[in-house]
Amino acid sequence: MIPSLKILPGDEIEIKRKDGKEIVIGPGLRKDNQNSIVSMKCGVLKKKENFFWLESHQKRYIPARNEYVIGIAVSKSAETIKVDIGSSEYASLSFLAFENATKRNKPNVEIGDLLYCRVLTGNKDMEPELVCIDANGKSNGLGVLKDGFMFKVDLELARRLLAGSNQLLRQLSKHVPPFEITIGLNGRIWIKTNSCKQTVFLVEAINQYAAIADLETENFIKNLLKKDNLLE
Amino acid sequence: MKTKMKLSSNVLQMKFMKRTAIERQEELAFEEQQRQIDDEHWYLDIDKEKKVESNVGSVIVESSYSIFDGVGFGRMSFNGFNPQIEKLMKPTDEESKQKSDSDEKEINDEEMAEHFSNSLETTINKKFVAKRFFKQTKGPKAKRLAT
């Protein structure tokens, strides 16, 4: 298969299956009634083992189970919070889905707060549901993000930054003062640093990185540091 | 005998059989109701052809991008900005390390063989070694095992 196959919506995609391995189709692909696989948007066909998907510059987030996202609390009711996670519909987050929360002891979440949470149900027919705890009832970093600065990128960039193989943040952190970053798979990135200057620097760096290939990361960082010296 | 003995309608009409008659009527009514419910219950009429088709081209549909390449938890802290988060980050770093290390054995085959071949000999030896020498013979061995 050609490594970067450009696909338009409606294109039929022929996938030769190897024996014994079932094909897994990811976002952007769909199986139609004639037993063929059809694309739903334009992008580049990607493949990893038996997993096929379309990579595109999409900005609209489609909730899927077990993805970590950054949401904004929009409204509160007795038992749930409505959270804007960038999907077509607001997601609901139960007050009980926080660490140490009970009916009496509700977590302190205000409207407008940023929440880092996990998608519990992401179904195309139902309202997405979020939680801020893991299976053991521990928050493990999930919950309200205090202070900091949030900005949006396209979904592809968020995934790239999160991939285990990506070196941008790890390399960059060697040259800059301490900072904290949270990347949601819904294309929202939250940064917290000790100075405005550094925040601006990191936001710019990440935005520019969208146009840089993974292999060029090291050169990119070198150029960045030449232009903008944070260590002064 | 499988079929239930039935009383004739004439007997049931008698005054002292009234209770039994009412019971039987209720039973009949219940059965009738049950049958109606069964008839009313709708069921899916799946085309057999469709079923076969989907079996032929069985494809798993996954709605998330993140099933590969460790795309997942996205909170990161660098250079000690938030120690709590850095603690959380460690396990994911170590997981990848452990994967590469798991091929290497903790104890060599040779070490293992040496340890087991000596063991009987040394345990019996211990009995004849004077107490002040005992610690010396034991010392290096314990160290080697710990490493």
pLDDT of residue B57: 61
What contacts A152, CB < 8 A, 6 or more positions away?
A: A59, A86, A187, A188, A189
Residue B54 within any structural domain of the chain: no
**Which domains are present in chain A?**
5-55 (2.40.50.100), 68-145 (2.40.50.140), 149-227 (3.30.1370.10)
Residue with the larger pLDDT of the pair B10 and B118: B10
pLDDT band at B145 (very low <50, low <70, confident <90, very high): low
Q: Spell out which residues of chain B touch residue A183, defining contact as CB-CB under 8 Å.
A: 74, 76
Query: Given an 8 Å threshold on Cβ–Cβ distance, is A180 in contact with B78?
Result: yes
**Chain A to chain B, count of Cβ pairs less than 8 Å apart?**
123
Residue B121 within any structural domain of the chain: yes
Measure in Å the smallest separation between the Cα of B97 and chain A Cα atoms: 12
Residue with the larger pLDDT of the pair B94 and A177: A177
Measure in Å the smallest separation between the Cα of A134 and chain B Cα atoms: 12
Residue B133 within any structural domain of the chain: yes
Residue B34 within any structural domain of the chain: yes
Q: Spell out which residues of chain B touch residue A116, defining contact as CB-CB under 8 Å.
A: 74-75
Residue with tokens 């189709």: A25
pLDDT of residue B56: 41
Tell me what the mean pLDDT of segment B83-96 comes to.
74
pLDDT of residue B96: 57
Residue B56 within any structural domain of the chain: no
pLDDT band at B63 (very low <50, low <70, confident <90, very high): confident
The span from the CA of B140 to the CA of B35, in Å, is 85
Q: Measure Cα distances from B6 to A232, B3, B21, B100 in Å.
A: 105, 9, 11, 80
Q: Is the pLDDT of residue B139 over 60?
A: no
pLDDT of residue B52: 43
Measure in Å the smallest separation between the Cα of A37 and chain B Cα atoms: 9
Model pTM score: 0.68
Q: Spell out which residues of chain A touch residue B60, defining contact as CB-CB under 8 Å.
A: 22-25
Measure in Å the smallest separation between the Cα of B147 and chain A Cα atoms: 32
The span from the CA of A132 to the CA of A138, in Å, is 8
What domain count does chain B have? Answer: 2
Chain A stretch 51-110, residues whose beta carbon is closer than 8 A to a beta carbon of chain B: 51, 53, 62, 64-68
pLDDT of residue B110: 78
Q: What is the pLDDT of residues A46-84, one digit of tens each?
A: 888 778 888 888 899 999 888 999 999 999 998 999 999
Give the strands of the sheet with A51-55, arranged side by side: A5-7, A43-48, A51-55, A23-25, B59-61
pLDDT of residue A186: 92
Query: Given an 8 Å threshold on Cβ–Cβ distance, is B66 in contact with A51?
Result: no
Neighbours of A128 (CB within 10 A): 26
Chain B stretch 14-73, residues whose beta carbon is closer than 8 A to a beta carbon of chain A: 53, 56-73
Residues of chain A with pLDDT under 50: 1-2
Q: Is the pLDDT of residue B46 over 60?
A: no
Tell me what the mean pLDDT of segment B108-113 comes to.
78
Q: Is the pLDDT of residue B79 over 80?
A: yes
pLDDT of residue B54: 45
Largest CA distance in chain A: 64
Prediction ipTM score: 0.79
- Which domain does B18 fall in, by range? 9-39
Residue B90 within any structural domain of the chain: no
